[in-house]
Amino acid sequence: MNSRFYEVKITLGSVKKIRAGILLLITTFFWGVTFTVVKDAISKVDVFVFLSQRFLIAAAIMLPIALTRTNRVKARLLTHGTILGILLFASYAFQTVALKYTSASNTGFLTGLSVLLVPLFGAAIFRHAVGAGIRWGVGLATPGLFLLCTDGSLSFNIGDILGAICGACVALHLLYTSHFTRHADSDVYLLTTLQLSVVGLLSLASAQARGQEVFVWHPELLWTLVVCVLIATIFAFLVQTTMQKWISPAHTALIFCTEPVFAAAYAYYAAGERLGVLGLLGAVLILAGMIVSELLPDGADSDASVSVAAEG
């Protein structure tokens, strides 16, 4: 009887993992599609003005929803939300500054190196197991990112160091999101709202420090903000925060590797931009890495599924 109950729990955990992967892939699709839209927006206004408006509006929408779903705001949850918000803001900030000193292709590749850093940091900080699926997935996706984002050429400067720091912040954000959401008393709505609020406030402070006026209406950004606030921010980060309870940070990072693939596909559809042979090869390697990571056994996810099943 106990053995049969255990098997049912593991099966339910696998179903939740598959659902989490699909929803995270949908989230990544939206991020990739909105990349071109965001790029156009920050060519019209200061990037921190745009980030301030995007995240403050998203937090304002989420706050009443989160408060109606919770009885009490615990100090630990505030701490967790603040940590995630700082890491998320640092990711955006370092990426933005890096773009001043290096190419967009270098920045994209170095940011995407979070796929390599997540299992390394996870093993060092949380003693996560790194199974065959993750090793092969990362081994395929990393050169794929290099080919897709850089077309096979890379030169280093100070901006590349900042881009690498951005990748480290992305990796830490993924790891700590997974760690915090697996606490029994974690409230994903409030946790999401808190980190969005922190990003919005830090972006506001950065914009004002640069002498930029944030609370100014830009009618040309209306639909960009609507799409980015509702889909690329509220939906995306709520899905990420919720689904990382069921899927490992390393698998999440591999799924997020498909963002430049979706971005390139949309750029081809919307603007006629074409990938070269190396770029297409890179996209194939990224997709292959994600598929292989799902097909091969992964000790980290197995452990996570068992622990979650035991709690449920």
pLDDT digit string, tens, across residues 153-196: 667 778 888 889 999 999 999 999 999 998 766 789 999 999 99
Please give the average per-residue pLDDT across 136-152, as a whole number.
85
Q: Using one digit for the tens of pLDDT, what is the confidence trace for 104-116?
A: 677 778 888 888 9
For the CA atoms of 46, 96, 256, 305, the dihedral, rounded to the nearest 10 degrees, stands at -100
Contact criterion met (CB below 8 Å) for 256 and 140? no
Q: Using one digit for the tens of pLDDT, what is the confidence trace for 1-59?
A: 455 544 444 565 678 888 888 999 999 999 888 877 887 888 889 999 999 999 999 99
On the question of pLDDT at 70 being above 60, the answer is yes
The tokens describing 225, both together, are: 């903000």
Top-confidence residue, 179 or 71: 179
For residue 233, the model assigns a pLDDT of: 95
For residue 32, the model assigns a pLDDT of: 85
Residues 6+ apart with CB under 8 A from 206: 48, 93
Top-confidence residue, 72 or 6: 72
For residue 190, the model assigns a pLDDT of: 93
Local confidence band at 308 (pLDDT 50, 70, 90 cut-offs): very low
Contact criterion met (CB below 8 Å) for 173 and 84? yes
Local confidence band at 304 (pLDDT 50, 70, 90 cut-offs): very low
Contact criterion met (CB below 8 Å) for 144 and 283? yes
For residue 44, the model assigns a pLDDT of: 87
- Its pTM stands at 0.85
Rounded CA gap, 244 and 249, in Å? 7
Please give the average per-residue pLDDT across 53-73, as a whole number.
91
For residue 42, the model assigns a pLDDT of: 82
Top-confidence residue, 13 or 294: 294
On the question of pLDDT at 97 being above 90, the answer is no
Mean pLDDT of the chain: 84
For residue 8, the model assigns a pLDDT of: 46
